[in-house]
Chain A
């Protein structure tokens, strides 16, 4: 019979399972040997034997090579897919941009930068601008109050 979730018996069972798992993992690592944390996921992936890779991963690597002008994979099962990929590459060649559009957009980009400088969406600039404007308003009001007070008393 299963112990109800949250009961003491259930918790003890879970603790026993956890102890077994941790003792197994510590047995797998010799005492005194530290596990290197320098090995990146990339390295571990690179160490995986070629046969372990999924077809999608093998295809992706072959496509990287194809699109970078390198040698294509020799695996027969990838051949028709790489042929299709090569035809896709040809069919989706870069579309030329009109010179007029390129120049117009470049002008807009430059104009936008002039309007935006200094950038108020950068928090530092926003805080600085806020502080300076508040100080200016404060000084203005104080100066007016002083002037008004001296004017009345005279």
Chain B
């Protein structure tokens, strides 16, 4: 099962981390009592999980498949979620992370390549076409630079900027300490700042 393990080498002891408020805990408790309440969590995290899967896999079909698998796995395991360490968000993204890793392995076995180009934001109706094209080009350049980072730094950057997870939550997802995540992020941003300013 790809659920989050509650006890890991994080900066805070588990009993203290349990007191850190999880904004989703009321919805999780409701979903554990009444399954139909899972819809609240589904709506809350669908976009974030899908974005994570898409930026990792680079293909809409694979991202949809990984998103569906993530939510179905979360739904099966919601009864076993305990507010003892990781937040629900970190727990869900850990499932997504494992699902995406499986998709990468399947893709490597089948030797398939992603089909879709990275997305561009839909331009506003009155947007300047030249400005839109420039921004799209800049976004492509940045995503290419991120794709060239070592795997652990790339994961940290995606979870921080595409999904807005905190260093502690990223540590929960990747099974690293909060301090290690901060150092990875610092190094990744140094690399990227150097590349993007050239």
- A interface residue numbers (CB < 8 A to B): 40-42, 54-57, 59-60, 63-64, 67, 80-81, 83-85, 87-98, 101-102, 105-106, 108-110, 112-113, 116-117, 119, 121-122
Question: Contact at B55–A112, with CB atoms within 8 Å?
Answer: no
How many angstroms from the CA of A100 to the CA of B80 in the assembled complex?
Answer: 30
Residues on A with beta carbons closer than 8 Å to the beta carbon of B71: 105, 109
With A41-B11, A87-B138, A90-B139: A95-B196 Cβ-Cβ less than 8 Å? no
Residues on B with beta carbons closer than 8 Å to the beta carbon of A108: 68, 72
Question: Contact at A110–B36, with CB atoms within 8 Å?
Answer: yes
How many angstroms from the CA of A105 to the CA of B71 in the assembled complex?
Answer: 9
Find residues 153-198 in chain B having any chain A CB closer than 8 Å to their own CB.
Answer: 157-158, 160-162, 164, 166-167, 179, 182-183, 185-186, 189-190, 192-193, 196-197
Q: Which among B19, B35, B55, B75 is the interface contact of A92 at CB below 8 angstroms?
A: B55
Q: Which residue of A lies closest to B192 (CB)?
A: A84
Question: Contact at B16–A121, with CB atoms within 8 Å?
Answer: no
Question: Contact at B182–A56, with CB atoms within 8 Å?
Answer: yes
Report the minimum CB–CB distance from A60 to chain B (whole Å): 5
Report the minimum CB–CB distance from B117 to chain A (whole Å): 12
Find residues 17-36 in chain B having any chain A CB closer than 8 Å to their own CB.
Answer: 19, 35-36
| 13 extra interface residue pairs, beta carbon distance < 8 Å, beyond A59-B185, A109-B38, A109-B75 | A56-B186, A81-B189, A85-B189, A91-B161, A92-B161, A96-B122, A97-B47, A102-B46, A105-B42, A112-B72, A112-B76, A113-B38, A119-B35
How many angstroms from the CA of A55 to the CA of B183 in the assembled complex?
Answer: 9
Report the minimum CB–CB distance from B113 to chain A (whole Å): 19
Report the minimum CB–CB distance from A10 to chain B (whole Å): 31
How many angstroms from the CA of A54 to the CA of B143 in the assembled complex?
Answer: 28
Question: DSSP majority for the B interface?
Answer: helix
With A92-B143, A94-B48: A59-B189 Cβ-Cβ less than 8 Å? yes
Question: DSSP majority for the A interface?
Answer: helix
B133 interfacial contact with A, CB 8 Å: no
Residues on B with beta carbons closer than 8 Å to the beta carbon of A97: 46-47, 50, 67
Q: Which residue of A lies closest to B76 (CB)?
A: A121
Residues on A with beta carbons closer than 8 Å to the beta carbon of B36: 110, 113
How many angstroms from the CA of A25 to the CA of B142 in the assembled complex?
Answer: 53
Question: Contact at B182–A57, with CB atoms within 8 Å?
Answer: yes
Residues on A with beta carbons closer than 8 Å to the beta carbon of B160: 63, 67
Question: Contact at A80–B193, with CB atoms within 8 Å?
Answer: yes
Question: Contact at B38–A122, with CB atoms within 8 Å?
Answer: no
Q: Which among A59, A60, A88 is the interface contact of B161 at CB below 8 angstroms?
A: A88
Question: Contact at A64–B166, with CB atoms within 8 Å?
Answer: yes
B114 interfacial contact with A, CB 8 Å: no
Residues on B with beta carbons closer than 8 Å to the beta carbon of A109: 38-39, 42, 71-72, 75
With A57-B182, A59-B182: A91-B48 Cβ-Cβ less than 8 Å? no
With A60-B167, A80-B197, A106-B39: A92-B16 Cβ-Cβ less than 8 Å? no
Residues on A with beta carbons closer than 8 Å to the beta carbon of B121: 93
